[in-house]
Amino acid sequence: MATPITRDLGRFLAGVQFRDLPSEAVGVARLGIVDSVAVMIAGRVDPAPQLLLAAIEPGGGEATVLFTPRRAAPAAAALINGTAAHAFDYDDVAMRGHPSCVIAPAILAEAELLEASGERMLAAYVAAYEVWAELVLRDPDPQHLRGWHLTGWIGVIAAAAACAVLRGLPADPAAMALAIAASQSSGLMANSGTMTKPLHAGWAAHSGVIAARLAARGFTASPDALEQASGWLRVVSSGGRVDLEAPVAAGRPWRIAKLGIAIRRHPVCYVGHRLVDGALAIAERTNLKAADIAEVRASLSGQAADILRFHRPTNGAQTKFSAEFGLAVALLHGRITPSDLEDGAVQSATVQSLMARVVVEARDGKALDAEPMFDRVTITTRDGTELHSGPVTAIVGSPERPLDAEQLGAKFAACITYGTQGGATPAFIGDLMNRLNTLEQLANARELRAFAC
């Protein structure tokens, strides 16, 4: 017999209180919001959010747009801000998707309208994460094998959960918010490498805001929309092995404290990070110069190779899904930054020349469960020397190899500097990061307007 998952998650959401959260859970939520703000500000100069902003022409409202003085209605702000947060594929990773680029923009936008405290915002993030984990972990098969971009498909439900907590919805309306959101799931992996991929995150944040608002006003949906025979869990499953019988375990224990989030070190698709980490490790160990490279061979899983499908990218949107680009730029510059994703930089003769010397080899097998999680890089120099990364398993920035405080601060500062075109002073950047790192002390979300830049 199926568990009443939708109903039970509604009960969970109605009971979430900041005072009951473990410090580890609060820490992850705070980190996710801090990093999301940074990549959102960096991503606001990307064509995707700029075109979106011009297309929808949002009027005035209570929610800040792209951390500028401009404001819009919360749903519109969440749409634009979520798109910017995912524009560079520089946002965090967890549970087969990118939670913060959806959850944080929805919270930031709606919290301004509600004048929510920092504690309430953090509780909303934790609750949304738990709902995401509850749903995604019921399916042993990666949902994107069926072509769904999970960030859009599950992100809308998580965003609705966050907004339900922000609004203090009782159990039944909170469950209804999830059910309404489930019908708004969308996003195709086929649109990776285009502006539509980050739009998935923005649209999920937007729709989550709307779902909670509708539920608060008595709008109806199926009370078993997640678990019924034609419900969300069955529809999104790629292998049909989804567990509908296990009791809801959200918050028992807090999965966010155990699973955490991975903060991306590089602004490219996460499945390419092992390769970039391996190449950088070789270069740092050997003092390798790009001019000395004759060939780079990259070995990765078949599934990852399918995702990294742009072998000769010509624009910034494609570069994020190109193993050749990530390896070439990392070896040329010793890092990858948002400025490397600009079309002119991608099309430079230097980058294109080194990309042509990268050979990608996909191992047999498609499913992650069918093969070890490792990648490997071999670099052959012009004098015939072979340099090996060995198997690269844990990604730099993952919970297994987390970025330290200095690295996190450097990424934050670089993102704000890039997004403001150098207009933000070091003092301003430090103050903004400190304010976000002490979010639980915030009395009213509108206080963040002081950091419009």
Q: What is the pLDDT along the chain (453 residues), one digit of tens a residue?
A: 789 999 999 999 999 999 999 999 999 999 999 999 999 999 999 999 999 999 999 988 999 999 999 999 999 999 999 999 999 999 999 999 999 999 999 999 999 999 999 999 999 999 999 999 999 999 998 888 889 999 999 999 999 999 999 999 999 999 999 999 999 999 999 999 999 999 999 999 999 999 999 999 999 999 999 999 999 999 999 899 999 999 999 999 999 999 999 999 999 999 999 999 999 999 999 999 999 999 999 999 988 999 999 999 999 999 999 999 999 999 999 999 999 999 999 999 999 999 999 999 998 654 444 445 899 999 999 999 999 999 999 999 999 999 999 999 999 999 999 999 999 999 999 999 999 999 999 999 999 999 999
Query: Does one domain contain both 293 and 222?
Result: no
Query: Does one domain contain both 296 and 245?
Result: no
Query: Does one domain contain both 227 and 282?
Result: no
What are the strands of the beta sheet with 386-388, ordered from one edge? 358-362, 293-300, 376-381, 386-388
Predicted local distance difference test score (pLDDT) of residue 366: 47
Residue 434 lies in a domain: no
Tally the C-alpha atoms within 13 A of residue 379's C-alpha that lie toward its C-beta. Answer: 27
Q: Minimal CA–CA distance to 94: which of 263, 241, 250, 208?
A: 263
Provide the token pair at 225.
């929309």
Provide the token pair at 396.
């730099």
Write down which residue in 237, 259, 281 finishes a domain: 259
Write down which residue in 353, 388, 423 finishes a domain: 388
Strands (DSSP E) along 85-199, which ranges? none
380 is in which domain, residue-wise? 270-388
Query: Does one domain contain both 248 and 293?
Result: no
Query: Does one domain contain both 55 and 116?
Result: yes
Query: Does one domain contain both 97 and 211?
Result: yes
State the DSSP H helix or E strand holding residue 215, giving kind and residue range, or none if neither.
helix 196-216
Query: Does one domain contain both 28 and 168?
Result: yes
Query: Does one domain contain both 106 and 248?
Result: yes
Which CA distances in Å does 163 have to 234, 279, 287, 363? Answer: 25, 41, 50, 42
Domain of 347, CATH number, reads 3.30.1330.120
Residue 453 lies in a domain: no
* Angle at CA of residue 191, ends 81 and 162, nearest 5°: 35
Residue 419 lies in a domain: no
Write down which residue in 388, 416, 435 finishes a domain: 388
CB burial readout 124-141, b (16+ within 10 A) else e: bbbbbbbbbbbbbebbeb
State the DSSP H helix or E strand holding residue 106, giving kind and residue range, or none if neither.
helix 100-114
Q: What are the φ/ψ torsions at residue 359 (nearest 5 degrees)? A: -115, 125
Domain of 241, CATH number, reads 1.10.4100.10
Number of domains within the chain: 2
Residue 431 lies in a domain: no
Predicted local distance difference test score (pLDDT) of residue 144: 81
How many whole angstroms separate alpha carbon 110 and alpha carbon 165? Answer: 11
Tally the C-alpha atoms within 13 A of residue 50's C-alpha that lie toward its C-beta. Answer: 8
State the DSSP H helix or E strand holding residue 379, giving kind and residue range, or none if neither.
strand 376-381
